[in-house]
A = this chain, B = another copy of it.
Amino acid sequence: MARAATTSDVFNAIAEQKRRQILVFLAADEKQVNEIVEGLRLDQPTVSKHLRVLRDVGLVRMRRNGRHKLYQTEAKAIRPLYEWASTFERYWSDQLQRIKQRAEQMAREQQRENR
């Protein structure tokens, strides 16, 4: 079995760096393909192909405007990713907290010695 299709879910779609760039680029406002090409310095077919993948998994939405097409990031489609990552938040905070506590502990011991 090969790797899962890039269009199989959000996790696979965002594995590609250029697609991540595109998503950031399109987060605030809708933009034409042209603007993406110039803004990110990618070839036009490359951009179109990545947009296709992003569209297939619902990470961007598109509307036509004359002979342009306007793409924009569908922010809410990123939530599954965000939520999955959040699963681990408590664990890394725990670790950070432990480190912090240890540091405070050491500071207290230092003080005691200096007294």
Contact: B82 with A24, CB < 8 Å? Answer: no
Contact: B20 with A84, CB < 8 Å? Answer: yes
Interface size class of A (residues with CB under 8 A): 20 to 34
Contact: B92 with A85, CB < 8 Å? Answer: no
A-B contact pairs, 18 of them (CB 8 A): A3-B3, A3-B6, A3-B15, A3-B16, A11-B15, A11-B17, A15-B15, A27-B91, A73-B88, A75-B92, A75-B94, A75-B95, A79-B85, A81-B81, A82-B82, A82-B85, A82-B88, A82-B89
Q: Which A residues are within 8 Å of any B CB, using their own CB?
A: 3-4, 6, 11-12, 14-17, 20, 23-24, 27-28, 73, 75-76, 78-79, 81-82, 84-89, 91-92, 94-96
